[in-house]
Amino acid sequence: MKGSHSIIVQNNRLHYELLVKRNITIILGDSATGKTTLVEMLRQYMDLGPDSGVEVNCDVPCAVLEGRNWQAILSSYNQTIIFIDEGNIFVSTEAFASAVKGSDNYFVLITRENLYNLPYSIDEIYGLHSSGKYQNSRKVYQQTYKIYTEQVSNMAKPEMILVEDSNSGFEFFAAAGKEKGIICQSAGGKSNLYKALKATAQEATVCVVADGAALGAEMARLRSLARDRGNIIFYLPESFEWLILEAGLLNSHEIRTILERPEEFIESRDFFSWEQFFTKLLTERTQGTPFRYGKKKLNPVYLHERNKRKIVEASPLVWLAVSKEHGEVTSEITKK
């Protein structure tokens, strides 16, 4: 499955609106926010159809998955948006992660747990709230809102850059940071980010650079530590490969079209996370060119001054950007 899909679930009392566009969407929040009621309404519709009093509007089928026989039931679905309520402990298992990988379904997971086996995006973690959109109506309108909206802007120059991986992305930021007198350290993987961040000096301003496309499970504790410290900032693009593509080094109209609406091009069956898609796209499109990209080792061409400048200026890391003439920051970049 690919593309974005609008879902409306309603009865005479409640109206839910959701938009899903990746293989994994997370809805979290405290009790009494309407999450379980949404699943119950979908379950009623599955059992009774229109006789349930529930109306479901979506361009693809929606279903609820639960119980001990979830694997057999899941195997019968394709091109379906599957909702799973909290309390189904199988969602935290490796077996479920394996089932999601390679599936042509989308999954909406209602949970308060961090699902470390799944590479879900920080941009697809939502809460539910009453929108107030129809204040004079007796019907309650529930809409989603993003949990993580941190944007890197107006930041002071940090003393350290902490990069998620130790591959090409780390090489790039280590080289760019060195020119500015900024220490760059690798966490050696997203699961090590929290430990590595906690080990940094408490008084040091740290910029965390990581792949937002797969960081969802780690984000709660990272944000909690950032709030406690007050001097931790985040830059969380989809991936380093996405950043290179966004910089326009390849000068391709087709790539620009893909970046504007990636959900229309990323098939969930083929890519466990969007980071994998952007890596494949960049690797294939630069094969046999001077910009040949390898994830393990950075091609030195990306560190040439003009190319490095374009990559930096495609991010909000303004303290790494220099003008051609004066070697100073010339403008603030606010792109994600």
Please give the pLDDT value at position 143: 79
- pLDDT (0 to 100) of residue 28: 87
Q: Burial, 92: exposed, middle or buried (Cβ in 10 Å; 0-12, 13-18, 19+)?
A: middle
- pLDDT reported for residue 129: 80
* d(C-alpha 314, C-alpha 336), whole Å: 8
Q: Residue 131 has what pLDDT?
A: 64
| pLDDT given at position 34 | 81
Local structure of 122: helix, strand or coil? helix
DSSP 270: T
Whole-number pLDDT of residue 213: 94
The domain limits of the chain are 5-146, 160-320
Amino acid at 295: K
| H helical segments located in the chain | 35-48, 70-74, 94-100, 168-179, 193-198, 219-229, 240-246, 253-260, 274-286, 305-313
Q: Please report the pLDDT score of residue 329 as a whole number.
A: 33
Q: What is the pTM of this model?
A: 0.89
Question: What's the token pair of residue 259?
Answer: 């970046």
Please give the C-alpha separations between residue 233 and each of 28, 137, 150, 158, 238, in angstroms, as whole numbers.
23, 42, 9, 9, 16
Local mean pLDDT, 10-residue blocks, the chain (336 residues): 96 93 89 82 95 96 96 96 95 96 96 93 89 57 80 72 95 94 95 95 93 94 92 94 96 95 97 97 96 95 95 90 44 31
